Amino acid sequence: MRTIPLLREREKQIFDKAGNGTFEMACDRHSLAGSVSQRACVFCGSRVVLYPIADALHLVHGPIGCAAYTWDIRGALSSGPQLHRMSFSTDLGEREVIFGGEPRLYKALCELIATYRPKAAFVYSTCIVGIIGDDVAAVCRRVAREQGIPVLPVHSEGFKGTKKDGYKAACDALFSLVGTGDITDIAAVSINILGEFNIGGEAWMIRQYYERMGVQVVSVLTGDGRVDDVRRAHGATLNVVQCSGAMTFLAEQMKERYGIPYIRASYFGIEDTAQALYDVAAHFPDDPGIRERTETLVRDEVAAVMPELRHIRGDLEGKRAAVYVGGAFKVFSLIKALRLIGMRVVLAGSQTGNADDYAHMRALCDPDTVILDDANPLELSRFVIEKQADLFIGGVKERPIAYKLGLGFCDHNHERKTPLAGFEGMLHFAKEVHLTVTSPVWALLRRTP
């Protein structure tokens, strides 16, 4: 197994040299054909961003497989409507490919809007739509005029680029809604939370932190999202961006048009959650009590979880973890969170990181940590074995790799149902890691040397 080969064309997207030599990572590239990248397509990138908007209609214009693949794609909970969990498709077939799918799209939109009365509709273009040339935007404009709701095209043909291009397509669609709602009741101390998708109810926990600090949350984009909240998001005085790969595009657009500044934040791990809250408090110096309220909140929340975290650390000290997830910012937080419970990260990688992200990642890691951009299964398998990892943290595509290698696995991607953000989420994460790494089942397996 130690002889697993690497593709020569991928060498510049892999850093596995110990010491203090020159660090150069190639990134922001299209996935190499034939490498079976762990990345998803442009269409999938747009779906994971927009999916949690619960009172909108989400219609996939394309073959049924695209809708099936992305059905219920996030563990995003809603406190009200469940329309987002319905998977609608125009189900294009041979006839539409030859003669065009615009009539089918128009009919589907009209019928679905009449049946479900959504606040807005998002229409996702898939690969075949880009090939046959349907004018999706024109159909959306026609239906919007006739039905009286926003009908928004999402230009997400899968072959157009990478998953990150799908994020941008989603942000473009969202930005067309921003600025169309009433902002008269929005306070001066107010924020939008961008890039938080309410996996397992995480947005509710984070919103509660800010409310305890005295900060009004105007909208969460897009966890437990509502169309009307998106429309009034321009009334907030600060954007707090968690998933920077997905939502920096929207933050930049809002900064340019509405003058709203933004900061980056992470809610994974005690250190980064506390820093996110302190950074928001620092943005509102004219509120005399916000710093004190924030300090009290952090002190109380940390005190509630630290005793159990110390106990868990005693069992995990010196264990090794491999981390490969979508966004680089999440990797940073996971490195810190794992270090808090005594574990060392021996492999770190992401699907959408940029050069600055990887430079920061290397600064956080030990000198001999392998760093990967847009990895494939062979690379992940090779380095997990070489580095003798005890745990793999990733998403649904990485789970089979871990289990085939006889390795513990923890899901930290968007399909999970357990909240891992915030102070309470850190304890959930530590418990899951502890149960996985210390499971007696691993003693029954013979690992390949």
Q: Which of 352, 369, 360, 366 is nearest to 332 (CA)?
A: 360
Please give the class, per CATH, of domain 8-25+317-416. Answer: alpha beta
pLDDT at 21: 57
Query: Do 138 and 155 meet the contact criterion of CB atoms below 8 Å apart?
Result: no
| Segments making up each domain of the chain, as ranges | 8-25+317-416, 42-175, 190-299
Q: Which of 339, 58, 325 is nearest to 199 (CA)?
A: 325
Per-residue pLDDT of the chain (449 residues; tens, 9 = 90+): 456 777 777 878 888 765 445 677 877 777 766 566 667 789 988 998 999 999 999 999 999 988 887 787 777 899 999 999 988 999 999 999 999 999 999 999 999 999 999 999 999 999 999 999 999 999 999 999 999 999 999 999 988 888 889 999 999 999 999 999 999 999 999 999 999 999 999 999 999 999 999 999 999 999 999 999 999 999 999 999 997 778 999 999 999 999 999 999 999 999 999 999 999 999 999 999 999 999 999 999 999 999 999 999 999 999 999 999 888 888 999 999 999 999 999 999 988 888 888 888 989 998 889 999 888 888 899 999 999 999 999 988 889 999 899 899 998 877 788 899 999 999 999 999 999 999 998 888 765 54
Q: Give CA–CA dist 393/444, Å, rounded.
A: 21
SS3 for the chain, per residue? CCCCCCCHHHHHHEECCCCCCCCCCCCCCCCCCCCCCCCCCHHHHHHHHHCCECCEEEEEECCHHHHHHCCCCCCECCCCCCHHHCCEECCCCHHHHHHCCHHHHHHHHHHHHHHHCCCEEEEEECHHHHHHCCCHHHHHHHHHHHHCCCEEEECCCHHHCCHHHHHHHHHHHHHCCCCCCCCCCCCCCEEEEEEECCECCHHHHHHHHHHHHCCEEEEEEECCECHHHHHCHHHCCEEEECCHHHHHHHHHHHHHHHCCCEEECCCCCHHHHHHHHHHHHHCCCCCCCHHHHHHHHHHHHHHHHHHHHHHHHHHHCCCEEEEEECCHHHHHHHHHHHHHCCCEEEEEEECCCCHHHHHHHHHHCCCCCEEEECCCHHHHHHHHHHCCCCEEEECCCCHHHHHHCCCEEEECCCCCCCCCCHHHHHHHHHHHHHHHHCCHHHHHCCCCC
Q: Which of 364, 366, 405 is nearest to 383 (CA)?
A: 405
Give bridge partners of residue 371 from the DSSP assignment: 15, 348
Q: Which CATH architecture has domain 190-299?
A: 3-Layer(aba) Sandwich (3.40)
Question: Beta strand 14-15 with 370-373: parallel, antiparallel or unpaired?
Answer: antiparallel
Domain 42-175 and domain 190-299, same fold? Reply is yes
Does the domain formed by 42-175 have CATH 3.40.50.1980? yes
Q: Which of 268, 266, 270 is nearest to 279 (CA)?
A: 266
Residues 6 or more apart whose Cβ sits within 8 Å of residue 148: none
Query: Do 162 and 350 meet the contact criterion of CB atoms below 8 Å apart?
Result: no
pLDDT at 1: 45
Rounded to two decimals, what is the model's pTM? 0.90
Q: Give CA–CA dist 211/206, Å, rounded.
A: 9
